[in-house]
Amino acid sequence: MSKKGIIIHCSDSTFGSSIEVDKWHRQRGWNNVGYHFVICNGQVENNTYLECMDGTIERGRDIDKSGAHAVGLNSTHIGICLIGVDEFTDKQFESLAKLIKELKTKYDIINENILGHYDVSSKTCPNFKVKRFLDNLQYY
């Protein structure tokens, strides 16, 4: 399946992993995790920090399958979720930069097609300026 863009999300939780997000999405009636990638912040469960998990990129939904993260764009855009609400670790941003660079190359995605969830919904997610992040991508 051809991918034309990327939509960046946040979990709106202070802890989690792709397994936890999958559980939350199944509770909402979805068949599995809606994002293609989840970037951990080290807080794997409430009040449990594992440094080795800070910045870990976990696979979510198969990249060749339509996501469940942005109405109208699920089949054409890759969903990336950072665990967190409005504060993210340096390691998460480093991993996000690495992942975006890889996906841009693999799918020939241009920066204009890399969006925050707020660009396509009434949400504030991912609660940071995606365009500013992209402008600074070269520094990561």
Instruction: Output the pTM of the full model.
Output: 0.94
Question: What single string gives the DSSP state of each residue in 33-92?
Answer: -S-SEEEEEEEEETTEEEEEEEEEEEE-S-TTS--SSSTTTTTTEEEEEESSSS---HHH
Q: Which of 98, 107, 123, 140 does the annotation list as catalytic? A: 123
Question: Is 117 noted as a catalytic residue in this protein?
Answer: yes
Question: Is 118 noted as a catalytic residue in this protein?
Answer: no
Which pLDDT tens digit goes with each residue over 92-112? 999 999 999 999 999 999 999
Q: Which of 3, 10, 25, 35 does the annotation list as catalytic? A: 35
pLDDT band with cut points at 50, 70 and 90 for residue 1: low
Question: Is 125 noted as a catalytic residue in this protein?
Answer: yes
Look at residue 36 in the predicted model and tell me its pLDDT. 96
Query: Are the C-beta atoms of 33 and 21 separated by less than 8 Å?
Result: yes
Which pLDDT tens digit goes with each residue over 48-76? 888 889 999 999 999 999 998 999 999 99
Tell me the C-alpha to C-alpha distance, in Å, between residue 56 and each of 11, 72, 83, 88: 15, 28, 10, 13
Q: What percent of the chain has pLDDT over 70?
A: 98
Q: Please state whether beta strands 48-59 and 37-45 pair in parallel, antiparallel, or not at all (unpaired).
A: antiparallel
Backbone torsions φ then ψ of 114, nearest 5 degrees: -110, 115
CA distance 7 to 80: 6
Question: Is 9 noted as a catalytic residue in this protein?
Answer: yes
Looking at residues 76-84, what average pLDDT do you find? 97
Which pLDDT tens digit goes with each residue over 7-30? 999 999 999 999 999 899 888 888
Q: What is the mean pLDDT of the chain?
A: 93
Look at residue 139 in the predicted model and tell me its pLDDT. 67
Q: Which of 9, 25, 69, 77 does the annotation list as catalytic? A: 9
Q: Which of 10, 40, 81, 125 does the annotation list as catalytic? A: 125
Question: Is 129 noted as a catalytic residue in this protein?
Answer: no
Q: Looking at residue 1, what DSSP letter applies?
A: -
Q: Which of 10, 81, 117, 118 does the annotation list as catalytic? A: 117
Query: Are the C-beta atoms of 9 and 86 separated by less than 8 Å?
Result: no
Nearest CA-CA partner of 55 in 17, 102, 94, 81: 94
Query: Are the C-beta atoms of 117 and 5 separated by less than 8 Å?
Result: no
